[in-house]
């Protein structure tokens, strides 16, 4: 397959304007005649559905949760970047663009990132107008903070609940269109297949999660805003329901999946406390501003932290990275925590944790200042662990947090299946091999409010879409496939629960395709994944029936897809013989132990084409060109 | 630790429900309430029984999916905490925990501890927004908002829509939920143009959904995981009365709010699954 990324040529700052000018428009009176399907109601999905509804299209929006307001975008804490330069500190669209390309370790498309930086300013305006209560200065203007290693203050925030407030803004815009009759909302409805007719995405097959009914919905274009696949690791900071099913089933219908091995680990999460652990809770990275990270120098030192004298502590980040210290980027901080624990110097009952100690800051600044800065985070930590972080150092450990990979899309955010658009975390487009803090919210809203509403229109106006009907064989075949799979899952009637398989799968992926990877480990992982998948299909027990509110059945379908994705992640990680961003191959590191990119051989997007169950996927490369930001080695020494 | 779970089991809306007791002899005090149910469900599945259906998603207290009564208290005994963040160490050794779904006419039951809260979406849909289409916004700093207003709006906007307020209220009123949105948007200059109409429409929809009236008991704010203050209900009532007067020629049907018969006819209530 040939990939055409449809990146226009010319000066980068003119590309999006010219693209928009060259787009064909849909006559306002005709918009109502086009039915569009939006799957997912997070920042990307809700903003797209609302905006397309406002434009006059006939929109159907689907989510598996009981309400569109629950999508996992809601859990984002930190903030949203925008190149407003309100702080007059030298920020600009070009600087945000530069930081994002560099932060992504030179594995993102320049044209996409530049557009994202341009649009960032409109997002803030839109959200303010919707009534998002961003933090303000006493004079009434918007306030900013710096975030994620940026040297300018460009992050807008609403307390520690920025994602929630932005999502509620998009949700309210969506509900306004529901009231207006332009959007029909389908909560508790899961997409289980994509309907492709004459090579174009024309609809979806869904299951009503309350009644179990299988339905089809046809339209002129399908837009997926179904989020990332971090839950392949079982333990992640994602919501329990977050899954790859919509993306994966589209992949099996022909949409290429790009850079699946690019996953991001967040260094400051609350460690696992036992086998029953169901998810990991993230704490804002801002804690590293005043906390010092350390482990005992001695292996297996089980003394309580206050009994370990200063001389027997290893502040390993300060030791290895004297200039950045505890503030090194996410991937570096995470990897070093893993090394400390691998050496047997981890703390806590499981040995999978490192201390984040505020004692020095409390002595220096006073308890009150620390309380003002981090009070809510300290409360949350205490609520979960039962330990008082003012008295005892916090224990933290890295966790999977975001996935940069996703369905491949061109500059118009259209996948390799015409008529299938992919937005937000579900696509691969803007973050390269590593995402900067406060950029996920920006990308979701940029795609949903300001990009896909135009590009979908261009697609509809430039292509003659045949009339289709429910009676076509493609529709019936897709439904039959979904029903077969449901029956198959229920019929196994083995001994093990879905969660037990998911947990085991997650452990394999975490051990071999997590924070650091080796060729040998990845090969082993692929074998183990295949074996476990075999067992899954022979020894799974799903109680209940298909015509029921059946949470085990929902999970079973999602885990089945995670099995296939997990293998592809390992294949992708094995194929990429370099280290970059979130992908760290132990074989490829500098003498100082830093990631070693190989720009001569791996400066491309790895897009994978599905070739049938059990057959190896085929790699299609999209070469990346850097005309503006020249690849350089990251250094935080 | 040992706990005894007494859980409401009901296969579907039309089926009869009953309490079933499950001993948990090896619960871990560090587990969350939901993880305890996970462990129970694994055992039920292995024993060939139907697992307990309960709603959950983010498990960090922000999505608003989870929630049930524990010994008669919505989200259990810990203040400002949803059941997903409630760890078992807050219970006593050997304690019996009675788990029940939210019970309210406007939250019809789906299964076990899961209820249908679409009535909340319909309340938002009736007017809980600022009517500004994408692309038509002025610069973010064009309209100044005092820090105090932004902070007060944020206090109200923190609502996660979980429904605990309704479940805790003896009248099953949704006044705290509805008031939170009316206050959030009414405080900000961006929400002022529609302030009157918003209050009228949202209150009318709330009543039409079958939520009870507010009699200022305050149970709602007591169980609210986000500690939404009771004053949002005062803000709602004020905006409602103000709007009723100013819009008296336009919205006749809604000026008699606290009687059901006056509100239902023109409002859409989708009870398709009933």
- The interface residues of chain A toward chain B in range 369-388, judged by CB-CB distance below 8 A, are 380, 383-386
A270 lies in a domain? yes
Report pLDDT for A539. 98
How far does the CA of residue B274 sit from the closest CA of chain A (Å)?
12
When pLDDT is averaged across residues A161-181 and rounded to a whole number, the result is: 97
CATH classification at residue A306: 3.90.700.10
User: pLDDT-derived band of residue B250, with 50, 70 and 90 as boundaries?
Assistant: confident
User: pLDDT-derived band of residue B251, with 50, 70 and 90 as boundaries?
Assistant: low
> What pLDDT digit, counting tens, does each position of A294-330 carry?
999 999 999 999 999 999 999 999 999 998 889 887 8
Pair (A376, A500) in one structural domain = no
User: pLDDT-derived band of residue A150, with 50, 70 and 90 as boundaries?
Assistant: confident
- Per the structure, how many domains does chain A have? 2
CATH entry 3.30.70.20 includes domain B3-100: no
User: pLDDT-derived band of residue B56, with 50, 70 and 90 as boundaries?
Assistant: very high
When pLDDT is averaged across residues B222-226 and rounded to a whole number, the result is: 97
Highest mean pLDDT out of A140-154, A314-328, B245-259: A314-328
> Which of the listed residues A377, A400, A423 is the one where a domain comes to its end?
A400
> What pLDDT digit, counting tens, does each position of A92-103 carry?
999 999 999 998
Pair (A271, A361) in one structural domain = yes
Residue A293: pLDDT above 50? yes
* Residue entry with tokens 């015509």: A547
Q: Please tell me which residue, A11 or B254, carries the higher pLDDT value.
A: A11
How far does the CA of residue B248 sit from the closest CA of chain A (Å)?
22
User: pLDDT-derived band of residue A149, with 50, 70 and 90 as boundaries?
Assistant: low
Is there a shared CATH topology between the B3-100 domain and the B118-262 domain?
no
Is B48 near chain A, with CB under 8 Å? yes
Chain A residues with beta carbon closer than 8 angstroms to that of B184: 131, 133
> Which of the listed residues A400, A428, A446 is the one where a domain comes to its end?
A400
Pair (A275, A380) in one structural domain = yes
User: B254: exposed, middle or buried (C-beta count within 10 Å: 0-12, 13-18, 19+)?
Assistant: buried
Sheet containing A200-208: give its strands across.
A189-197, A200-208, A214-218
Nearest-CA residue of chain A relative to B59? A239
**A386, B29: Cβ pair inside 8 Å?**
yes
A130 lies in a domain? no
Distances (CA, A) of B211 to A402, B12, B123, B165, B170: 39, 22, 11, 11, 11
Residue A478: pLDDT above 70? yes
When pLDDT is averaged across residues A616-620 and rounded to a whole number, the result is: 98
Domain of residue A540: give its range: 473-597
Report pLDDT for B255. 43
Is A133 near chain B, with CB under 8 Å? yes
Which has the closest alpha carbon to A446: A42, A160, A118? A118
Residue B137 is nearest to which of A50, A65, A129, comparing CB atoms? Answer: A129
The whole-angstrom separation of Cα A381 and Cα B105 is: 37
The whole-angstrom separation of Cα B1 and Cα B89 is: 9
Report pLDDT for A148. 64
Which has the closest alpha carbon to B43: B61, B25, B30? B25
Share of chain A above pLDDT 90, in %: 88
Strand intervals (E) in A379-495: 394-403, 406-407, 420-422
Q: Quickly name the fold that domain B118-262 has.
A: Fumarate Reductase Iron-sulfur Protein; Chain B, domain 2 (1.10.1060)
CATH classification at residue A536: 1.20.58.100
Is B145 near chain A, with CB under 8 Å? yes
**Contact indicator for B198, B182 with CB cutoff of 8 Å:** yes
Sheet containing B69-70: give its strands across.
B18-24, B3-9, B96-100, B69-70, B73-74
Residue A497 is nearest to which of B45, B49, B144, comparing CB atoms? Answer: B45
Chain B residues with beta carbon closer than 8 angstroms to that of A158: 154, 157
**Contact indicator for A245, A191 with CB cutoff of 8 Å:** yes
> What pLDDT digit, counting tens, does each position of A446-473 carry?
999 999 999 999 999 999 999 999 999 9
**B63, A72: Cβ pair inside 8 Å?**
yes
A330 lies in a domain? yes
A251 lies in a domain? no
Q: What are the residue ranges spanned by the domains of chain B?
A: 3-100, 118-262
- Provide the ipTM: 0.96
HSE (CB half, 13 Å, CA atoms) of A609? 12
Residue A162: pLDDT above 70? yes
Report pLDDT for B64. 98
Cα B75 to chain centroid, rounded: 11
The whole-angstrom separation of Cα B199 and Cα A347 is: 54
Residue B260: pLDDT above 50? no
- The interface residues of chain A toward chain B in range 438-457, judged by CB-CB distance below 8 A, are 449-450, 453
User: pLDDT-derived band of residue B261, with 50, 70 and 90 as boundaries?
Assistant: very low
**Contact indicator for A399, A268 with CB cutoff of 8 Å:** no
Q: Determine which of A143-152, A334-343, A396-405 has the lowest per-residue pLDDT on average.
A: A143-152
* Residue entry with tokens 């709007």: B243
Interface test with B, best of A81, A88, A168 (most B CBs within 10 A): A168
The whole-angstrom separation of Cα A273 and Cα B28 is: 10
Report pLDDT for A516. 92
The whole-angstrom separation of Cα A418 and Cα A52 is: 18
């Amino acid at each position: 397959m040939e990939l055409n990324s449809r990146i226009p040529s010319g000066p980068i700052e003119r590309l999006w304007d010219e693209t928009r000018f060259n787009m064909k428009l849909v006559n306002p009176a005709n918009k109502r005649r086009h039915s569009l399907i939006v799957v997912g109601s997070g920042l990307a999905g809700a903003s797209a559905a609302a905006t397309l509804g406002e434009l006059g299209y006939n929109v159907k929006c689907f989510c598996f949760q009981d309400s569109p307001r629950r999508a996992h975008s809601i859990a984002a804490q930190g903030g949203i970047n925008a190149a407003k330069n309100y702080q007059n500190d030298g920020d600009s669209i070009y600087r945000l663009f530069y930081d994002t390309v560099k932060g992504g370790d030179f594995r993102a498309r320049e044209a996409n990132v530049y557009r994202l930086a341009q649009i960032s300013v409109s997002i803030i305006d839109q959200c303010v107008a919707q009534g998002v209560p961003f933090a303000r200065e006493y004079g009434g203007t918007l306030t900013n903070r710096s975030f994620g290693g940026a040297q300018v203050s460009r992050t807008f925030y609403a307390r520690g609940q920025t994602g929630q407030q932005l999502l509620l803004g998009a949700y309210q815009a969506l509900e306004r269109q529901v009231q207006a009759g332009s959007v029909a909302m389908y909560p508790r409805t899961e997409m289980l297949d994509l309907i492709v007719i004459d090579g174009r995405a024309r609809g979806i097959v869904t299951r009503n999660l309350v009644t179990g009914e299988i339905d089809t919905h046809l339209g002129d274009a399908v837009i997926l805003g179904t989020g990332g696949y971090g839950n392949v690791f079982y333990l992640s900071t994602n919501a329990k329901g977050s899954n790859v099913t919509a993306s994966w089933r589209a992949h099996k219908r022909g949409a290429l999946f790009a850079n699946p091995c690019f996953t991001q680990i967040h260094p400051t999460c609350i460690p696992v406390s036992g086998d029953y652990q169901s998810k990991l809770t993230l704490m804002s990275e801002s804690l590293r501003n005043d906390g010092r990270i350390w482990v005992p120098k001695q292996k297996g030192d089980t003394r309580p932290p206050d009994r370990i004298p200063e001389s027997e502590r290893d502040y390993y980040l300060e030791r290895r990275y004297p200039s950045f210290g505890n503030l090194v980027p996410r991937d570096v901080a995470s990897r070093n925590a893993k090394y400390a624990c691998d050496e047997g110097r981890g703390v806590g009952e499981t040995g999978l944790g490192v201390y984040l100690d505020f004692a020095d800051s409390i002595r220096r600044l006073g308890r009150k200042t620390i309380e003002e800065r981090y009070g809510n985070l300290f409360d949350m930590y205490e609520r979960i662990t039962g330990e008082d972080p003012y008295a005892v150092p916090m224990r933290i450990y890295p966790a999977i947090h975001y996935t940069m990979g996703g369905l491949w899309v061109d500059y118009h955010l259209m996948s390799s299946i015409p008529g299938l658009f992919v937005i937000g975390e579900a696509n691969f487009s803007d973050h390269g091999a590593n995402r900067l803090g406060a950029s996920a919210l920006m990308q979701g809203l940029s795609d949903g409010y300001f990009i896909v509403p135009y590009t979908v229109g261009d697609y509809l106006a430039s292509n003659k879409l045949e009339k289709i009907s429910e009676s076509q064989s493609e529709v019936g075949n897709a439904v039959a496939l979904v029903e077969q799979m449901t029956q198959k899952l229920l019929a196994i009637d083995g001994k093990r629960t879905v969660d037990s398989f998911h947990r085991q799968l997650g452990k394999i992926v975490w051990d071999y395709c997590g924070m650091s990877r080796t060729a040998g480990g990845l090969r082993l992982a692929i074998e183990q994944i295949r074996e476990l998948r075999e067992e899954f299909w022979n020894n799974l027990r799903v109680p209940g029936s298909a015509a029921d509110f059946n949470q085990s059945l929902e999970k079973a379908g999602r885990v089945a897809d995670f099995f296939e994705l997990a293998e592809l992640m390992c294949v992708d990680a094995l194929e990429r013989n370099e280290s970059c961003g979130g992908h760290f191959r132990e074989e490829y590191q500098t003498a100082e132990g830093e990631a070693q990119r190989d720009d001569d051989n791996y400066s491309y997007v790895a897009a994978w084409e599905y070739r049938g169950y059990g057959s190896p996927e085929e790699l299609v490369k999209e070469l990346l060109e850097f005309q503006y930001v020249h690849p350089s080695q990251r250094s935080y020494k | 630790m040992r706990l005894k779970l007494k859980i409401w089991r009901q296969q579907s809306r039309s089926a009869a429900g009953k309490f079933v007791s499950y001993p948990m002899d090896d619960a871990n005090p560090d587990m969350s309430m939901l993880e305890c149910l996970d462990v129970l469900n694994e055992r039920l599945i292995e024993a060939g029984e139907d697992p307990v259906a309960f709603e959950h998603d983010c498990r960090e207290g922000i999505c608003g999916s989870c929630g049930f009564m524990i010994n008669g208290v919505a989200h259990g005994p810990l203040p400002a905490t949803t059941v997903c963040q409630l760890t078992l160490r807050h219970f006593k050794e050997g304690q019996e925990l009675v788990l029940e779904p939210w019970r309210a006419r406007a939250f019809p039951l789906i299964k076990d501890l899961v209820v249908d809260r679409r009535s909340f979406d319909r309340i938002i849909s009736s007017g809980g927004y600022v009517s500004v289409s994408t692309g038509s916004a002025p610069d973010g700093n064009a309209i100044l908002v005092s820090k105090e207003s932004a902070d007060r709006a944020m206090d109200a906007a923190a609502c996660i829509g979980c429904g605990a307020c309704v479940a805790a209220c003896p009248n099953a009123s949704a006044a705290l939920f509805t008031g939170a949105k009316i206050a959030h948007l009414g405080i900000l200059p961006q929400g002022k143009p529609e302030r009157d109409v918003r209050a009228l429409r949202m209150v009318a929809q709330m009543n039409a959904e079958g939520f009870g009236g507010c009699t200022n008991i305050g149970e709602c704010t007591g169980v609210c995981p986000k500690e939404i203050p009771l004053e949002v209900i005062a803000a709602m009532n004020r905006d409602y009365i103000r709007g009723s007067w100013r819009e008296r020629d336009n919205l006749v049907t809604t000026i008699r709010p606290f009687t059901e018969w006056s509100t239902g006819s023109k409002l859409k209530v989708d009870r398709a699954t009933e």
